[in-house]
Structure 1
């Protein structure tokens, strides 16, 4: 552990090894800030300890707002929306007000040790363990690669992320009209057929190798 803070100990229990390492880097930055209480339990300022020595264009203070009595924390840097991890300024405030655990609203399940069940049931075949057993069709693979390229672009900034999420929602609503008629060649349909065949074979006492 880098700082032996309560939130760090909590993070070590919930995050994957890779994300805990990233969390540690962010936590290390906490040492460069001091906290000033503006309104008890509501508003705090995290100020860089070397504010007077930093370049004029460098931002040195950050406002942290406590929401719903500590269930959520807000900072205008947008790091949580972009990375799914709290910024060093909020972590510093958490330590200042003696919060021992990362608020549930700020724990992204995708980064936790329990992430295996983060996907809805109808998307479970995308888990890495299952993907190797499921042969993707060309059209499926082509769409998947196109989607990954969009994710890459959406990950370039907070603005890009927010815009891409809006596009996804719009596309999902529009594409729903095309799913009423299925040709049976999609991965989801083929997996369902395989399960049905296996169930019928089992009911007849036939064992496939």
Structure 2
């Protein structure tokens, strides 16, 4: 059995520490970078019917120009209808 050294973990998430021991170093780095890019969003609910949200990207990034500002999202969870003014949902699903 070959053992790899446990990579340094950038976050304090307990599951990230666990995955650093389970995943290969290369896979863990991809996971960690994806996690890092995903947690920089702030979500605030607004509107009378509680189906509207304002999504703000809180960490500016050259990689994601579409994240540079706030977007309004409509979410009808009961009927499975979602739309966003950035159109990201319509493009990627």
TM over 0.5: no
TM-score range, shorter chain: 0.3 to 0.5
Q: What's the TM-score once normalised by structure 1's chain length?
A: 0.22
* Greater relative contact order (CA < 8 Å, ≥ 6 in sequence): 1
Q: Report the structure number with the largest CA radius of gyration.
A: 1
